[in-house]
Amino acid sequence: MMRQYELVERVTRYDPDANEDLLNRAYVYAMKAHGNQKRASGEAYFNHPLEVAAILTEMKLDDATIAAALLHDTVEDTSATQQEIEEKFGPEIAALVDGLTKIAKLDLVTKEATQAENLRKLLLAMSKDVRVLLVKLADRLHNMRTLEHVKPEKRARIAQETMDIYAPLAGRMGMQAVRDELEDISFRVLNPDANRIITERLAKLHQESGDILREIEHELTTKLGENGIRAEVYGREKRPYSIWRKMERKLLSLGQLSDIFGFRVIVGTVDQCYRSLGIVHRTWRAVPGRFKDYISTPKQNDYRSIHTTVIGPHHMRVEMQIRTRLMHEIAERGVAAHAIYKDAPDAKEALDGFRQPAAESNAYRWLRHLVDMLQEGESPKEFLEHTKLELFHDQVFCFTPKGQLIALPRGATPIDFAYAVHTSVGDSCVGARINGSHAPLVTELKNGDEVEIIRSDAQVPPAAWEGLAITGKARAAIRRATRAAARKQFAGLGREIVEKLLAKFGRSFIEKELTAAMPRLGHKNLDDALAAIGRGELAGVDVLKAMGITLDDAQLKELRRRPVQKKGEAGEDLSIPVRGVARSTVLNIAPETGAVPGERIVGIITPGKGIMIYPIFARALEQFDNQPERWVDLAWDTAAAEKRFPARIAVTILNEVGSLAAVAQVISEKGGNIDALKMVAREGARDFFDLDITVEVHDVKHLNEIMASLRSRNAVSSVARTTG
């Protein structure tokens, strides 16, 4: 265990003005607070915060951050209080410790919800002070280093959480060294076989290649020196997880990977970076399409470097990264290095491309943007989904017609681009021109594309865009606009219902009278109440009562259109996952057609049955054309694919032995389930039989697969969706 004076010496070595008294007091306080507590490994618990502090001294962080690292578990795991920390160490350190303390005693049912709320709190604290993030990542890094002492089931959960959240977060903040170690440890836990195979293969390659790394290092250093450039060159093998990820992404075998070796060339200035690139390309043949200039166009996490791949000695593919010393420090340590080196002599040149105050890095600004966007997540599931979307993707760089640079995740579309420019641009987007030519909104953008968004004030983003968008910002904005549009539609429907009810009593729709009745209905304003009526959450008759209109029993019986269905009645299914109605609403799928996720659906308010769900093509909807007050616009929820739903199909088969068995076999092989089947002989055509089948499937894609497989059978004449 590191002694008190050793920790202080570590800090004063890079910061002679550090507050030694603060460090000594934090050390003693944390040691006493944790007392005899033990970790799963059996060692003293205090060793953990001490190791976290040691990791942060390697990043050369300030004394307040080191003190917060020593104290970060005291409030959560000991009798210490937040107030006591503030009294003894001041508000700055107390705020850091509070940001690192998990929310205690959460009254939440799922682990996902608890994880989301703790992550939300951490991100908010990080956006106010980036040092919270640095301590948290050091905390997670030490926990991962000692993960072998944790129970296997918990070990896998922690490793997956690290891979999902903390490793990509470290990468987004530019802390590549931390990210690499977190990923490699997680990879060893989550996929030990793959890790072992790749590690053994790397060892074999290293043995076969001998001193090729040293040979290339020497040759490259010599070449640069002959041209007056003093450079530090070192080679390395790629890490096991990095290799595995590339194999998965490009569908390559281990033997097909050619650029397993990489070299870093560290020079003095930006000018020397470009001169070194020229020397490298004159010495060895460059591989087309493998050149990237992140100096002129830095990544969003402040990463700057020149990447190129060449055919080096022994005809080996070699990846090279050329950068200055400051760029290298920021590439390895991200925001931590940025905070340290922003006042360095060469910082002005290195940071010129960032076009921002040196005090705040691009990565930190991205974090603030992420937190602002995540405030709009309405559920833990949405919050975690958006966080992972923002963390994971590599980037492409596109431009507006005026030359503004827009950084987007790889795979992004013009929809994502529009929302990245501004939410109002996304909401009004109707088309796009890419490099001057009209292109579909689903087009995947590439590096260097110039994108012009075509707009219309009459546009409302369709709900289907949510499945096309890649960025969390775009998805959140589309959801918000969809909800607003649905609310407006329901409010209009509610208004129409109330107007018709009032007309029956010879009354007019007067907003002032209705607004005065809102408190009795428990709604803040008239629009909310009308939307609730349109959704079926509030009965129109209750509005009449709130306005003081007295109804007799006969009138009540006539006006009540949606009696409550009792638990256990036939047809009840409270778990149909659709959007557009309250959770308590009774929902049923129309038996004459069925309905499956992927089909556009509508609901019809049906007396005694709640809301009946129909696909938009159902013939039964024609009878409700003159009753708009009964229509409810619905959409399938994303959780729908986890269940099975009924769909009726009409199948015509040949009258021969085994035909029916062939149909049943296809449905079974494709994972469907026959819920009902009716077989009818055709009049005047005894060679054929008509089958009316209700098949249970996950979604419309699943249904189409089954129908396509049925059509391919010789015994099947035709297959069609039943329209009712």
Angle separating helix axes 380-392 and 362-374, nearest 10 degrees: 160
- CA 689 remoteness from chain centre: 50
- CA 647 remoteness from chain centre: 32
77 a catalytic residue: yes
Structure-token pair, residue 341:
């080196």
Question: Is 302:362 a contact under the CB 8 Å cutoff?
Answer: yes
> Which of 6, 43, 58, 76 is the catalytic position?
76
Q: What is the DSSP letter of 696?
A: E
- CA 657 remoteness from chain centre: 52
- Return d(Cα 621, Cα 724) in angstroms, integer: 10
- Return d(Cα 75, Cα 81) in angstroms, integer: 5
- Classify residue 541 as exposed, middle or buried by CB count within 10 Å of its CB (0-12, 13-18, 19+): middle
CA distances from 309 to 3, 30, 324 (A): 47, 50, 18
> Which of 20, 62, 77, 528 is the catalytic position?
77
Other C-beta atoms closer than 10 Å to the C-beta of 155 total 16
Element (H, E) at 225: helix 212-226
Structure-token pair, residue 24:
């000594």
- Partners of residue 610 on adjacent β-strands: 606
Q: What is the DSSP letter of 563?
A: P
Long-range contacts of 141-144 (CB under 8 A, 24+ apart): 141/55, 141/178, 141/181, 141/182, 142/48, 142/51, 142/52, 142/55, 143/48, 144/181, 144/182, 144/185, 144/186
Structure-token pair, residue 658:
């085994």
Phi, psi angle pair for 596, to nearest 5°: -135, 150
Q: Tell me how many helices (H) and strands (E) the chain has.
A: 31, 20
Q: Quick one: which of 566, 570, 563, 562 has its CA closest to 632?
A: 562
76 a catalytic residue: yes
What type of residue sits at position 539?
A
- CA 97 remoteness from chain centre: 27
CA distances from 111 to 114, 118, 161, 558 (A): 5, 11, 12, 47
The residues annotated as belonging to the active site are 76-77
